[in-house]
Amino acid sequence: MTGRIAFQGELGAYSHEACRQARPGMEPFPCRTFEDAIEACRSGEVDLAMLPVENSTYGRVADIHTLLPGSGLRIIDEAFVRVHISLLAVPGTKLAEVKRAMSHTVLLGQCRDFLKSHAISAVTGADTAGSAKAVAEKGDPALAALASDLAGEIYGLDVLARQIEDQSNNTTRFLVMSREADFSRRAEKMMTTFTFRVRNIPAALYKAMGGFATNGVNMTKLESYMVGGSFTATEFYADIEGHPEDANVKLALDELKFFTSEHDILGVYPADHRRD
């Protein structure tokens, strides 16, 4: 055991914050890409990987759903991080001095109202914490960063304004990934995530989903994405409430198998309390 957890981005990223909240006793291990974080876990360089899957404002995180099924990793937990955005600048800077703000394009889009009201132009950076690091290195009072307070702490920046996001409920959901699956029932409310491909028969998806409706299983997510560069090969990603050993979930999954050519349980894990 290494005691480390991998995430994509620089120290101070929101994924780093998710690591601190969900696994406070582990050492964060920054990686350049999602693939690097997955490989670090798969190779044993780290014990776990923290991966963002969706944001309440912008929807699913690009590429993640296509990476997960072939990753060889399994979901053992989920975490929800409230995305509070701060305006960070070099020490001693006044808000009126800031003319430009740098961040990831998604974060820039979440602070349009604040930037417009203060006549601050947006500058696209590689990521949030990386933008904070760049602002600290440049030392220009006219250039600020949009990132977390944690990034401000790490890179020695002043917080000029807090919680400037347009959406007050802006939240990102993360999955904690491990090399080993854990199917134990370790909470009262469990979640199960799986992928599947339907058989090439009429109304296959409708019939596959019917088992969840008739057995009273709540499906909280169902998404489709193309695989192998083909318009005809579609894989589905689903989250349901319950454990595979629950009688109603077992019946629904058995019915799913009858109408699918492939299916794979990616993880069974406790539902985060913030889900409700």
Q: Cα 220 vs. chain centroid, distance in angstroms?
A: 16
Residue type, 146: L
Q: What's the pLDDT score for residue 69?
A: 86
Phi, psi of 80 (to 5 degrees): -110, 125
Which strand (E) or helix (H) includes residue 154?
helix 149-155
Bridge partners for 6 per DSSP: 29, 49
Please give the Cα distance from 10 to 100 (Å, whole number).
Answer: 21
Q: What's the pLDDT score for residue 154?
A: 97
Name the residues annotated as catalytic: 172, 174
pTM for the model stands at 0.90
Largest CA distance in the chain: 66
pLDDT confidence band for 59 (50 / 70 / 90): confident
The helix/strand/coil state of 54 is: strand
- Per the listing, tokens 């990603």 go with 237
Please give the Cα distance from 119 to 240 (Å, whole number).
Answer: 45
User: 163-197: per-residue pLDDT in tens?
Assistant: 999 988 889 999 999 999 999 999 999 999 999 99
Tell me: pLDDT of 238 over 80.
Answer: yes
Please give the Cα distance from 276 to 273 (Å, whole number).
Answer: 6
Residue type, 200: N
Q: What's the pLDDT score for residue 64?
A: 81
Q: Mention every residue, 6+ apart, whose C-beta is less than 8 A from residue 263.
A: 194, 195, 196, 197, 253, 256, 257
Find out whether 165 and 83 touch, Cβ atoms under 8 Å: yes
Mean pLDDT of all residues in the chain?
A: 93
User: 196-227: per-residue pLDDT in tens?
Assistant: 998 878 888 898 899 999 999 999 999 887 76
User: 89-104: per-residue pLDDT in tens?
Assistant: 999 999 999 999 999 8
Q: Which residue, 5, 146, 142, is CA-closest to 77?
A: 5
Give me the mean pLDDT over the 100-128 stretch: 94
